[in-house]
A and B are shown apart, each in its own frame.
Chain A
Amino acid sequence: MLALLFILFAGLAVGCAISMVVQRNPLYSAISLIGVFISLACLYVTLAAPFIAAVQVIVYAGAIMVLVVFVIMLLNVEEEDRAPLRLRSLVPISVGLAAVLFAETAFIIFFVHQSPATPASGLSDVGLTASIGAGLFTTYLLPFEITSILLLMAVVGAMTLARSGGLLPGKALVVPGYQVLAQEILDPSTTPDLAPIVERSSTEIEHELGVTGEPNTNDGN
C-alpha cells in the first residue's frame, strides 16, 4: 500500500518537475512547481511527518508560490523564445560527463548494501508537532532565534529593493543602510518659498499677544 502511494506521488513529482523545466511559459512552470510541492507533501505524510507536510503546503505551495505567481503577473513575462545554442563545442564533453554520472549511480544502486531501516510507524512521535516544538525550543533554540533575525532582515531588504522611490522626493539621496538626510528632503536653497524664520524675544511676543509678563499683584485686592 505504502509502496503504491510512493510510486504514485513520486511519479507525480518527477513528472511535474520535468514539466516545469520543459514549459516555456513561466506561469505554467509555476503551476507545475505547485504540483511538485503538493506531491512532496503527500510523500511527507507517508514518511510519518504530518507537521512538515502541512508546513510544506502552507509555506511553499501557499505563500512562496503566490509570491512567484504575483511577480510573474506583475512583470507580464512573455514566453521565452528559442535562442541558438551557444558553446556547441562542449556538447561531447557534457555527454561524457553524463555517462560517468549514470555509471556511478548504477554502481551505487546495484552494489552498495542497502540499509535495513524501516520508516517510522504510527507509534513513533518523531514527526509530530509536539516533538518538533520541543526540539525547536530546547536544543535548537539559538538557530530558531537566528531564523527570526533572518526573516526580519529579509523583510527590510525586500522593501528596500523593491521600492521605486515613490515614498521620497526624487532629489533625496538614499544610501542603503543609512537614514535619509534631512537637508536632502527639505533643502532651503531649492525651495525659496519658505518664509524665513523670524526670531523674536519673549517680551515682543507678550506684547503681540496682549499679555503681560508681570505677575499679577492685584490678586489679594
Chain B
Amino acid sequence: MVPQLSWYLALSAVLFTIGVVGVMIKRNVIAMFMCIELMLNAVNLTFVSFSSFFRDTTGQLFVFIVMTVAAAEAAVGLGIIIAIFRNRESLDVDDESTLKL
C-alpha cells in the first residue's frame, strides 16, 4: 500500500494544529518560538508532498526559502528574547504584555 497525498496533508494539519495549540497554551517565550518553528515545518511538509506528488520542483524551492526565513527568524527572535530577558529577568509572556520598559 502506497501512502496517499491526503495522508501527508493530514499529518501536516495535525502538526500545524499542535503548533497552534502550543503557541496558545505556552507562556514561555522560547517554547512559543519552538511551536512557531513546528508550524513552519508542517507547512514545509505540505509543500514537499505536493511537489513530490505533482512532480514539480517549485514546492521544494519554496521550502528552501522558508528554511532561510526560519533561520533569519531564529537569529533575530532569539536576539529579541535575550534583550527582553536582560531588561526584565523573566521569559513569561504575561510579564511582557506591555512593550514599554
Interface residues of A (CB under 8 A from B): 2-3, 6, 10, 13-14, 17-18, 20-21, 26, 29-30, 33, 36-37, 40, 43-44, 46-49, 51-52, 55-56, 59-60, 63-64, 67-68, 71-72, 74-75, 77, 80, 83, 105, 109, 114-115, 117-120, 124, 126-127, 131-132, 135-136, 140, 143-144, 147, 150-151, 153-155, 157-162, 164
The answer to whether the Cβ of B55 comes within 8 Å of any Cβ in the partner chain is yes
The answer to whether the Cβ of B72 comes within 8 Å of any Cβ in the partner chain is yes
Contacts of B73 in A (CB 8 A): 154
User: Are B51 and A161 within 8 A (Cβ)?
Assistant: no
User: Are B71 and A63 within 8 A (Cβ)?
Assistant: yes
User: Are B64 and A52 within 8 A (Cβ)?
Assistant: yes
Scoring B13, B22, B33 by chain A CB atoms within 10 A of each residue's CB, the highest score goes to B22
Contacts of B98 in A (CB 8 A): none
User: Are A14 and B11 within 8 A (Cβ)?
Assistant: yes
B contact residues, range: 35 or more
Q: Within the assembled complex, what's the spacing in Å between the Cα atoms of A162 and B28?
A: 19
**Given A47-B48, A48-B52, A83-B27: A10 and B64 interface contact (C-beta under 8 Å):** no
The answer to whether the Cβ of B2 comes within 8 Å of any Cβ in the partner chain is yes
Query: Apart from A64-B37, A75-B30, what 8 extra A-B contacts exist at CB < 8 Å?
Result: A26-B34, A67-B75, A83-B27, A118-B2, A132-B64, A136-B64, A143-B61, A150-B69
User: Are A26 and B28 within 8 A (Cβ)?
Assistant: yes
* Contact of A52 (CB < 8 Å), options: B6, B48, B82: B48
Q: Which of B3-47 contact A (CB under 8 A)?
A: 3-8, 10-11, 13-15, 18-19, 21-22, 25-28, 30-31, 33-35, 37-38, 41, 44-45
**Given A37-B41, A52-B48, A162-B83: A60 and B78 interface contact (C-beta under 8 Å):** no
**Given A14-B15, A68-B30: A33 and B64 interface contact (C-beta under 8 Å):** no
A-B contacts, 13 of them at CB < 8 A, read A14-B15, A17-B14, A26-B34, A46-B3, A67-B75, A77-B28, A80-B27, A80-B28, A115-B53, A117-B53, A127-B52, A154-B73, A159-B79
